[in-house]
Amino acid sequence: MIYIAVGIFGFIVIHLFDIVSLKKIPSGAKPGVWTVGSGLLGYSLIMLCIKSNTLPLPIWLTWLGWGLLTLSLFLLIYSLFINLPFRKTYMATGVSDKLVTTGLYALVRHPGVIWFILFMLSLILVSKSNLLLIAAPIFILLDIVLVIVQDKFFFIKMFDGYKSYQQETPMLVPNRRSINAFMNSLKQSRA
């Protein structure tokens, strides 16, 4: 259970990232907070996978898990570190000067949550960890709470036009309009 607590603490540290960004705290605080929070969560996940009893899952579920793990990890990395401008988002002091509403951010306002949920489910299938079966719902809930707080309190202050973005793009579940916006965004990026 200590590893679940470490993961929860990691989420709390990650949440401080937005406060550090808004307060424009200099000298590496922003990447430091992100690295420490993500490191704690990553350590927690690794330990939950290797220090746990295994669930009796059929081999085909493990193989399905590897496929989903690869896809979800790629999409999570893409949405957080490529679709968003990496240097401005995670390294530079203050807030990024541009609201990203294209790519995966045309689909939903917080695509990382979708890929994180898929990542957690696939990690359960791959590791067969019974402790991860307990931790995954907690971590997913914390991720959703984090983006709700970001959406209601931080991003409105951080980005011009965020209120209209909230009205145009769903928070977590794509709809027909957002799927069309996403497809149009892909077409425009290819042109």
Which amino acid, residue 95? V
pLDDT band at residue 116 using 50, 70 and 90 as cut-offs: very high
Task: Report whether pLDDT(29) > 90.
Answer: no
- Note the pLDDT of residue 190: 73
pLDDT at res. 1: 85
**Quick check: helix, strand or coil at residue 171?**
coil
pTM, entire model: 0.91
Confidence of residue 71 (pLDDT cuts 50, 70, 90): very high
Query: What does the pLDDT average to over 52-72?
Result: 94
Place of tokens 């330990």: 47
Residue 36 CA to residue 191 CA, distance in Å, equals 39
Phi-psi bin for 117: left (phi > 0), alpha (psi -120 to 50), beta? alpha
Surface-to-core class of residue 8, CB atoms within 10 Å of its CB (0-12 exposed, 13-18 middle, 19+ buried): middle
How does residue 19 score in pLDDT terms, banded at 50, 70 and 90? confident
Residue 104 in contact with residue 182, Cβ under 8 Å?
Answer: yes
Residues with Cβ within 8 Å of 87's Cβ and at least 6 positions away in sequence, in order, are none
Q: What is the mean pLDDT of residues 157-167?
A: 92
Q: What would the DSSP string read from start to end of 2-49?
A: HHHHHHHHHHHHHHHHHHHHHHT--TTHHHHHHHHHHHHHHHHHHHHH
